[in-house]
Structure 1
Amino acid sequence: AIMAVGKNKRISKGKKGGKKKAVDPFSKKDWYDVKAPSIFNTRNIGKTLVTRTQGTKIASEGLKHRVFEVSLADLQNDEDHSFRKIRLRAEDVQGKSVLTNFWGMDFTTDKLRSLVRKWQSLIEAHVDVKTTDNYTLRMFCIAFTKKRANQQKRTCYAQSSQIRQ
């Protein structure tokens, strides 16, 4: 019988380059405390991870402009505001603390869904507002038509002429 010519595959089954040592990515990271602006009751809102300063990559630069979303209930210790989400943006790093500024407010999706009903008109509007301390805010407004007290008809729609653009 003629033997097959070639390498015996089972013998030379060594790994090329040897086994690489698995490096834990968290060993190169530091924890920073996230601080809310002074207008809120709770100042400590949590912690965030960032890769340590190494060479030209500075840790504090990696933290800046991060946006954190926090429930207003947590910020004010008041559960009535649990559906409002406050967005805070990292502006400055002092030691191991990250200082934030207000970056927006939103409703939780379940709260928005609970507001929208059938048989009524939903009216949305937005406007850009400049505050006295020179901030520009974009305000979004959502409104719904409401049945009158003595109304029989089950629908309550607004005519397009009643909704000003």
Structure 2
Amino acid sequence: APSMFSVRNCGKTLITRTQGTKIATEELKGRILEVNLADLNNDEDQASKKIRLCVEEVQGRNCLTDFHGMELTRDKICSMIQKFQSLIEAHVDVKTTDGFTVRMFVIAFTKKRPDQVKTACYAQSAQIRKIRKKMTDIMTAEAGKVPLRELVKKLIPESIGKEIEKQTQGIFPLKNTMVRKVKILKKPKFDITKLMELHGDGGDDAGVEMLRPEGEEAGNTLAAEVAAAAAEE
């Protein structure tokens, strides 16, 4: 898994052996893996999100993956839907600074005002339209000015949902505002260097001075002395 997650080795996948022209490593490329965010970050509180990873490169027995999407689990969505409230959804296509085109879906629910006595808290159609406009504007602004890696970091703590709740407070108070789903529509041309940077292996390949064993160094010195003596004779 990419370095934005705590657990790098997230599981195993099966593959048939290389036979003739069908090379096993090539068959693995493009495979989509679905992993729960709780397993990727060792945090049970994040169990309501599923992360999709795409295998981009194979090195030995390790598959290097990249982010391919995110989705809320069905039981989380079902637990938020209740009576006497309005459900508001919006979606938008955004291009990140590193060339990925993503489609983001957001979901929100209305809640009672602090001084409200009535049980129901339904929003009017005009208010829903205004809230939806705010949602698309915030998602475009938040995702359009960062690379995909930073966008994923925003999705995990639901900072986009909190920003939507904050800015729509004047129209109608919202609760449980979450990015419900993220889909990757278009990717830039594959670059192994960027993938290695994403996995934390893209540092400088500076050489390290090797210390020779004492015996080997002594042997080389002796051989040089013998050669010099032979040349003098």
**Partner of residue 88, structure 1:** 53
Could you list the per-position Cα deviations for residues 29-63 of structure 1 after superposition, in whole angstroms to 9, with x for gaps in the alignment? Answer: xxxxxxx0111111001111111110121111211
Shift of 1:94: 0.7
Percent identical pairs in the alignment equals 66
Instruction: Point out 4+ residue stretches in structure 1 off by more than 2 angstroms.
Output: none
**Residue aligning to 2:107:** 142
Aligned to 1:125: 90
The Cα RMSD (Å) is 1.1
> In structure 2, what is the Cα distance between the partners aligned to 1:54 and 1:72?
35
Q: Distance in 1 between matches of 2:12 and 2:41?
A: 18
Shift of residue 130, structure 1, vs aligned partner? 1.1
Structure 2: which amino acid aligns with 1:162? Q
Q: Does 1:107 align with 2:72?
A: yes
Q: Secondary structure at the match of 2:11?
A: strand
Shift of 1:89: 0.7
Is the deviation greater in 54-63 or in 41-50? 54-63
Greater relative contact order, per chain length (Cα 8 Å cut-off, separation 6+): 2
Aligned-partner residue type, residue 9 of structure 2: N
Tell whether 2:62 aligns with 1:60.
no
SS in 2 for 1:139: strand
| Paired positions, count | 130
State the AA in 1 paired with 2:97: T
Q: Larger helix proportion, structure 1 or 2?
A: 2
Shift of 1:78: 1.4
For structure 1, list consecutive stretches of 5 or more residues without a partner in the other structure: 1-35
Cα distance in 2 for residues equivalent to 1:76 and 1:49:
23
Instruction: Find 2:38's aligned residue among 49, 67, 73.
Output: 73
TM-score by length of 2: 0.54
Alignment-derived partner of residue 170 in structure 2: none
